[in-house]
């Protein structure tokens, strides 16, 4: 009972702090809402689609590496190691320089940079899950490789994958803001907090809030998604117990 009461108190404390910060942000930034609020719609959509793409590609590669093993595992891991060797921002710049600016290009860049991490996560989970009894039972029934990978292994790895996906949405939003600040992110007239910071930095000494609030908005959203992912991880762990 004490542990449950403590969990409830901690949860209420977090939500209370979040509510207070949200109200403060809303009141103080009221004059800037017409500028700041529209800046989230397109970037968060691009981030989500990019993460979905990285989940699809990364899960496919990770499942094949884990379950098939052998040459599949070596080839896939060498490819992933080659991609991970490059700094993420460099991969973004290479993709955008090769294909130009555009929402679809940014989605593709997020997919390419995120897929290796997803693949390594799924591979690690798959190596553990494929030793379970229900996988042996599916093999004994004569199920094909695709069925075992996508109907047996992947559903049982969904918890950590969902938590990782939430974190990746935050990272993708931060990356979109960084690219927008560098002037190579979402093309105009798409609203982007990074572009807002870049456009307003020349007024940093006369109108600081025009720079501060888009930057605070990016940081708040990323931190909020991280908190949500942590809470989701705890709930999934509690459910599994």
Q: Which pLDDT tens digits describe the chain residue by residue (241 residues)?
A: 444 544 544 554 455 455 445 545 554 554 455 555 655 777 888 899 999 999 999 999 999 999 998 889 899 999 998 888 888 888 888 888 888 888 899 999 999 999 999 999 999 999 999 889 989 998 888 889 999 999 999 988 888 898 899 889 988 988 888 888 888 877 777 777 777 777 777 777 777 777 777 777 778 778 888 888 877 777 777 766 5
CA angle 60, 234, 13 (to 5 degrees): 140
Q: What does the block give as tokens for 83?
A: 């991609």
Q: What pTM value is reported for the model? A: 0.78
Residue 187 is classified by DSSP as P
What is the per-residue pLDDT for 65?
93
CA distance to 67, 77, 155, per residue, from 159 (Å): 19, 23, 9
What is the per-residue pLDDT for 89?
84
CA distance to 12, 15, 195, per residue, from 224 (Å): 16, 11, 21
What is the per-residue pLDDT for 23?
47
Domains located in the chain, CATH noted: 37-240 (1.10.3720.10)
Of 147, 122, 127, 123, residue with least CA distance to 137? 147
What is the per-residue pLDDT for 6?
47
Contact status, residue 177 vs residue 194, Cβ threshold 8 Å: yes
- Could you give the dihedral angle defined by the CA atoms of residues 66, 151, 122 and 137, in that order, rounded to the nearest 10 degrees? -40
* Whole-angstrom distance, CA of residue 39 vs CA of residue 52: 21
What single string gives the DSSP state of each residue in 8-61?
A: HHHHHHHHHHHHHHHHHHHHHTGGGHHHHGGGGHHHHHHHHHHHHHHHHHHHHH
What is the per-residue pLDDT for 2?
45
Q: What does the block give as tokens for 192?
A: 């982007």
């Amino acid at each position: 009972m004490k542990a449950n009461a403590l969990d409830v108190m901690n949860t209420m404390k977090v939500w209370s702090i979040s509510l207070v910060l949200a109200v403060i942000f809303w009141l103080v930034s009221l004059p800037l809402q017409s500028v700041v609020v529209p800046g989230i719609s397109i970037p968060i959509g691009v981030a989500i689609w990019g993460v979905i793409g990285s989940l699809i590609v990364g899960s496919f590669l990770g499942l094949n590496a884990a379950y098939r093993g052998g040459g599949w595992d070596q080839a896939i891991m060498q490819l992933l190691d080659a991609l991970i060797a490059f700094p993420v921002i460099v991969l973004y710049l290479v993709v955008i320089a090769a294909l130009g600016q555009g929402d679809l290009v940014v989605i593709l860049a997020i997919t390419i940079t995120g897929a290796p991490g997803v693949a390594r996560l799924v591979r690690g989970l798959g190596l553990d899950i494929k030793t379970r009894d229900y996988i042996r039972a599916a093999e004994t029934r004569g199920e094909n490789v695709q069925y075992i990978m996508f109907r047996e292994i992947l559903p049982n790895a969904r918890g950590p994958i969902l938590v990782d996906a939430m974190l990746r949405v935050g990272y993708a939003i931060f990356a979109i803001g960084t690219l927008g600040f560098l002037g190579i992110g979402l093309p105009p007239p798409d609203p982007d907090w990074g572009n807002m910071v870049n456009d307003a930095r020349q007024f940093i000494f006369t109108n600081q809030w025009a720079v501060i609030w888009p930057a605070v908005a990016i940081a708040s959203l990323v931190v909020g998604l991280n908190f949500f992912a942590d809470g989701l991880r705890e709930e999934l762990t509690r459910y599994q117990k």
